[in-house]
Amino acid sequence: MNIPHRFLFLLTAILAFSVAPADPFVFAGEGTSVAEKVSPDPDTPPAATLSGEEIAGKETAGRMEAGGEKTEAEGEEEAEEEKARKIDTALRDDAECTFCHEEEDSPALLKIGRTKHGVVADKRTPTCTNCHGKSRAHLRTPEGQERPKPDIIYPRRSLNVPPDAVIDRDFGQFGIARSSVDAMNGACLACHRESRLTFWSGSAHATQDVACTSCHELHTDHDRVTEPGGQPKVCFGCHKSQRTLFNRPSHHPVPEGQMVCSDCHNPHGSAGPKSLRGDSVNETCYRCHMEKRGPFVHMHPPVMEDCRICHNPHGTTVADLLISRPPFLCQECHSDTAHRGQVAGLPGGRTTNSVLIGSAARGCLKCHTNIHGSNSTENSTSSGRFRR
């Protein structure tokens, strides 16, 4: 039977649509949709079938996933920071401090590693917190906020400060922030308890609120107060009258660097007067001038009593540190009536008469050479005393 061509065409079209896939985007001979080719996730349905809310949800989930990766990176960075906080730089257990006060930012502070306080092999050496306190608020303040000062603050020192300004700086005239003197000294005395500090609590420096750091410098390998050329400058910052005396012609060789103030004085206190090393002025002088100690057959009472009766140890304008020239010095005690001499004075005119010449060019020491004491058997109770 002949089927009309029109009927055959209709039947073919019906059969073709009945076997076609539901996805209208499938091409002949291919099993993958266009949406699947575009989507990076094979589990994600085609974009054509997603609603607006579903697409927004996917975007939000993507942002959350990216945010999670950032948090993980921050965690790794924090772990590295914590690891760096455990690496010591100069002192024992200083890692938490040197994490911020590193060599590039605070090179001056790390010089303490070159001092006795930085000998890490010595278990007696301190850490940062031994001197500055625990300072938890200073350590734990988040970045970006104003960081409070450590628990114990010391006045900042500088080698460039002129001697005249030292006393003003150390006693707060410049408005430098610092802790109380008791707090600063307490940190030092917690370790330094040696015998030379026995008299510190009653010393002149302690009672005048002088801190250890007023003289000593810790974060440097050159503590001026321990050096022959630097110690006098530190002392002269407060003791200005003694600096003036040392500029006089006759003085102990302190400005020349052959002596220092601590050769005679103990700045941490002593049992003697004026913080002297010896129990008395004479005992301190005898440490160097042993030949003046005696005992002698003929003793000179002023020598036995106090060397300062005749001498000024810091400096004078007269030779041998004498406070005045002989015979004026001698006649402060020896009157002209008890001695075969004359009242100090100058002749009234040209004369060779010994009575009229007076004391011109006639020093007592020209005859009494051993004025500190003599063992001569030729000496008598008369004017022959203290001769050779």
Q: List pLDDT tens digits, range 91-143.
A: 666 777 877 787 777 777 788 878 888 887 888 888 888 888 888 888 888 77
Instruction: Check residue 383 and give its pLDDT.
Output: 47
Residue 55, SS3 per DSSP? helix
Q: Which whole-number Å values give the CA distances from 380 to 233, 351, 384, 387, in the listed order?
A: 49, 32, 6, 10
Rounded CA separation 270/200 (Å):
8
Rounded CA separation 134/127 (Å):
10
Is residue 307 within 8 Å of 387, Cβ to Cβ? no
Is residue 370 within 8 Å of 386, Cβ to Cβ? yes
Rounded CA separation 129/97 (Å):
9
4 Cβ neighbours under 8 A, 6+ residues apart: none
Rounded CA separation 174/152 (Å):
19
Rounded CA separation 237/169 (Å):
10
Count other C-beta atoms under 10 Å from residue 125's C-beta: 17
Rounded CA separation 152/279 (Å):
36
Residue 129, SS3 per DSSP? helix
Residue numbers in the chain where pLDDT is lower than 70: 1-93, 156-177, 336-345, 353-362, 378-385, 387-388
Whole-structure pTM value: 0.66
Q: Which whole-number Å values give the CA distances from 143 to 86, 208, 328, in the listed order?
A: 19, 40, 74
Look-up of token digits 């041998």? 320
Count other C-beta atoms under 10 Å from residue 16's C-beta: 9
Is residue 336 within 8 Å of 383, Cβ to Cβ? no
- Altogether, the residues listed in the chain come to a count of 388
Instruction: Check residue 243 and give its pLDDT.
Output: 93
Q: Which whole-number Å values give the CA distances from 355 to 341, 359, 361, 363, 382, in the listed order?
A: 9, 9, 13, 15, 20
DSSP state of 322: B
List the one residue out of 179, 124, 127 whose CA is nearest residue 153.
Answer: 179
Residue 326, SS3 per DSSP? coil
Instruction: Check residue 31 and give its pLDDT.
Output: 44
Structure-token pair, residue 299: 């003793």
**Is the N-terminal amide bond of 327 cis, ω within 30° of 0?**
yes
Instruction: Check residue 363 and give its pLDDT.
Output: 72
Is residue 90 within 8 Å of 124, Cβ to Cβ? no
Instruction: Check residue 127 and give its pLDDT.
Output: 84
Instruction: Check residue 311 and give its pLDDT.
Output: 96
Rounded CA separation 325/336 (Å):
16
Q: Which whole-number Å values give the CA distances from 338 to 116, 331, 370, in the listed order?
A: 62, 10, 20
Phi (first) and psi of residue 173, to 5 degrees: -70, -20
Can you list the positions of beta strands (E) in the chain?
298-299, 373-374
Please, which residues bridge with residue 197 across strands?
none
Rounded CA separation 35/163 (Å):
85
Is residue 337 within 8 Å of 355, Cβ to Cβ? no
